[in-house]
Amino acid sequence: MNTESLKGKVALVTGGAGGIGRATCLALAAEGAAVAVMDIDLAGGESVAEELQDLGATAGAFATDVSDYDATKSALARIRESLGEPLIVVCNAGIAGEPVLFRSEDKANWQRLFQVHVDGAYHCIRETINPMLAAGWGRIVCISSVAAQMGWRGGASYAAAKGALIGLVRTLALEYAAKGVTANAVLPGVIDTAMSREALSHVRERVEAAIPMGRIGQPEDIAQAVAYLCSHRGGYLTGQLISPNGGMWLP
Ligand SMILES: NC(=O)c1ccc[n+]([C@@H]2O[C@H](COP(=O)([O-])OP(=O)(O)OC[C@H]3O[C@@H](n4cnc5c(N)ncnc54)[C@H](O)[C@@H]3O)[C@@H](O)[C@H]2O)c1
As averages over each run of 10 residues, the pLDDT of the chain (251 residues) reads 79 98 98 98 98 98 98 98 98 95 96 98 98 98 98 96 98 98 98 91 92 98 98 97 97 76
Q: How far is ligand 1, taken at its centre, from the CA of residue 20, in Å? A: 7
The 3-state DSSP class for residue 65 equals: coil
The 3-state DSSP class for residue 105 equals: coil
Exposed/middle/buried for 43, CB within 10 Å: 0-12, 13-18, 19+?
A: exposed
158 is catalytic: yes
Number of Cβ within a 10 Å radius of residue 122: 18
Residues enclosing ligand 1, CB less than 6 A? 14-15, 17-21, 39-41, 44, 65-67, 92-95, 116, 143, 145, 188, 190-191, 193-196
Number of Cβ within a 10 Å radius of residue 129: 19
Q: How far is ligand 1, taken at its centre, from the CA of residue 21, in Å? A: 7
C-alpha closest to that of 210 among 188, 190, 187: 190
- From the candidates 69, 122, 158, 176, give the one annotated as an active-site residue: 158
pLDDT of residue 3: 55
Q: Which atom of ligand 1 is nearest to the CA of 66?
A: 32
The Cα–Cα gap between 78 and 168 comes to: 26
CATH fold of 10-242 reads Rossmann fold (3.40.50)
For residues 183 and 136, the answer to whether their CB atoms sit within 8 Å is: no
Model-level pTM? 0.98
- Residue 200 Cα to chain centre, angstroms: 21
The Cα–Cα gap between 175 and 178 comes to: 8
pLDDT of residue 1: 45
Q: Which atom of ligand 1 is nearest to the CA of 158?
A: 43
Q: How far is ligand 1, taken at its centre, from the CA of residue 193, in Å? A: 9
Pocket perturbation via mutation, ligand 1, pick of 193, 216, 241 by most ligand atoms within 8 A of CB: 193
The Cα–Cα gap between 191 and 147 comes to: 13
Q: Which atom of ligand 1 is nearest to the CA of 93?
A: 24
Angle among Cα 126, 241, 160 to the nearest 5 degrees reads 70
**Backbone phi and psi for residue 96, each to the nearest 5 degrees, phi listed first:** -90, -25
Domain regions of the chain by residue span: 10-242
